[in-house]
Amino acid sequence: MNRAFLEFLSRHLLPLANPQFRKDPIVDRWVIVSTDRAQRPFSSHGDTAPAAKTDCPFCEGNERATPTEAFALRDRQSSPNQSGWQVRVVPNKFPALAALGDANLHNEGTYDSIDGVGAHEVIVECPQHEKSLARLSHQQVSKVVTTYRERLLALKEDRRLAYGMLFKNVGEAAGASIEHCHAQLIGLPMVPVMVRDELAGAAKFLDRHQRCIFCDLLSRELAAKHRIVCTTERFIAVTPFASRFSFETWVLPRTHQSHFEDLEPADIDEFASILKAVLMKLDAGLGRPAYNYFIHTAPLNVPPQESYHWHLEILPCFSRVAGFEWGTGCYINPVPPEQAAAFLRGTEI
């Protein structure tokens, strides 16, 4: 990170009393302005410094370095905020949003803002200092997926929230500030624009064709086979036709389901195994690249949707998003998704 910027953050930045959502008055896009985030660890070097187990806040035994846990899968005889856990969920120490208060709307002429309230949790995915989800056991990845589901269900109880965004940043290039394997969950009082666009596109397709566009794409991809990375009985991993990034991969359930949190416990194991397999292929074939993944699911506060179909999108970071992409929203992808799928299919794990 730029040294002068770090100096600005530490010497000149005036903290806001509360975070804020601000709506761009031209396009339908919300921005979170939150000075608390400026306090989190920023690295000034190209790579994440290897944290020793002793000073990693996410390692078992260092529970006191994190806020009080919200949820944990742990040994029956162990106590909260002590060792003996397998997956642990804590509020983010540097949250983008305030946990308490109402999401009141404010208007100043053309400018709309909403109080920056919501949830921001960290899901610590293993007790030992491991960086890669792909290297965790299948049983452990199942526990991680179980926890994702549990926390989304918990967010549903918070009536202020409309959306739960579960995401993961792996590697410095993907925005990770701590290398210990973890994901994050942000509960928002509105549906983010990327999801709204997908919901709108899917609703339009249902209107015209009386079927879910994702189900339609799945059957086409299964028939054509050339963009399939791998499959299980109930899930499919595919490189999408219009992939924005090299080796972009989506994992979807084969049967229609709009909400990730409606995943049957019996399907969790199978989803964990395909997720682990895709990440292992990326790690093995492409030298453990930095990546982001996130779950696109229907909003928390709506019933099951006929038009929408949840999916997990994995976006590896091989190059930076640059001027053309920022200026146009149009991505230039150097690797045809058919070739990416063929390469990953052939990568032994």
Record the tokens describing residue 230, joined without a space: 């791998």
**Near Zn ion by CB under 5 A, which window of 28-36, 56-64, 260-268, 272-280?**
56-64
Query: Which one of residues 34, 59, 151, 298 is an interface residue with Zn ion (CB under 5 A)?
Result: 59
Q: Which of residues 56 and 282 has its CB atom nearest to Zn ion in the complex?
A: 56
- Whether 239 contacts 249, CB under 8 Å: yes
Of 316, 231, 217, the C-alpha closest to 275 is 231
Residue 59 or 275 with smaller CB distance to Zn ion: 59
Q: How many CB atoms are located within 10 Å of the residue 68 CB? A: 9
Q: Residue 206 interacts with Zn ion (CB under 5 A)?
A: no
182 carries an active-site annotation: yes
CB hemisphere CA count around 301 (13 angstroms): 12
The answer to whether residue 56 forms part of the interface with Zn ion (CB under 5 A) is: yes
Among positions 143-162, residues that touch Zn ion (CB under 5 A) are none
Determine if 136 is a binding residue for Zn ion (CB under 5 A). Answer: no
Q: Are 228 and 238 in contact (CB under 8 A)?
A: yes
Which range, of 10-18, 118-126, 129-137, 316-324, touches Zn ion by CB under 5 A? 129-137
Check residue 80 and report its DSSP letter: T
Q: Where are the alpha helices (DSSP H) in 130-264?
A: 138-156, 193-209, 213-224
Is residue 315 near Zn ion by the rule CB under 5 A?
Answer: no
> Is residue 199 close enough to count as binding Zn ion by CB under 5 A?
no
Instruction: Report the nearest approach of Zn ion to the CB of residue 131 (Å).
Output: 9
- Give residues 272-291 in contact with Zn ion (rule: CB under 5 A): none
Q: x/- binding map, residues 61-100, to Zn ion, per CB under 5 A? A: ----------------------------------------
The contacts of residue 185 (CB under 8 Å, 6+ apart) are 119, 120, 121, 123, 148, 151, 152, 155, 164, 165, 166, 167
State the maximum Cα–Cα separation within the chain, in Å, rounded to a whole number.
Answer: 59
Question: Which span (53-61, 97-105, 241-249, 259-267) binds Zn ion, by CB under 5 A?
Answer: 53-61
* Segment interacting with Zn ion, rule: CB under 5 A, options 36-44, 65-73, 204-212, 321-329: 204-212
C-alpha–C-alpha distance, residues 244 and 138, integer Å: 29
Which member of 23, 88, 129, 182 binds Zn ion (CB under 5 A)?
129
- Binding of Zn ion by 21 (CB under 5 A): no
Residue 214 lies near Zn ion (rule: CB under 5 A)? yes
Please tell me whether residue 131 binds Zn ion under the rule CB under 5 A: no
Q: Quick check: helix, strand or coil at residue 192?
A: coil
215 near Zn ion, rule: CB under 5 A:
yes
Q: Which of 95, 296, 341, 344 binds Zn ion (CB under 5 A)?
A: 296
Residues 6+ apart with CB under 8 A from 160: 102, 103, 117, 118, 189
Token pair recorded at residue 328: 């146009």
Residue holding tokens 């709204």? 196
Bridge partners for 88 per DSSP: 72, 124
User: In this chain, which of 87, 185, 199, 212 binds Zn ion, going by CB under 5 A?
Assistant: 212
The dihedral over CA atoms of 323, 328, 329, 332, expressed in degrees to the nearest 10, equals -60
Within 8 A by CB and 6+ apart from 63, the residues are 69, 81, 82, 83, 88
User: In angstroms, what is the minimal distance from the CB of 52 to Zn ion?
Assistant: 9
The reply on whether position 259 binds Zn ion by CB under 5 A is no
Catalytic residue among 182, 256, 296, 311: 182
The residues assigned a catalytic role are: 182
> Which positions lie near Zn ion, rule CB under 5 A?
56, 58-59, 129, 180, 212, 214-215, 256, 296, 309
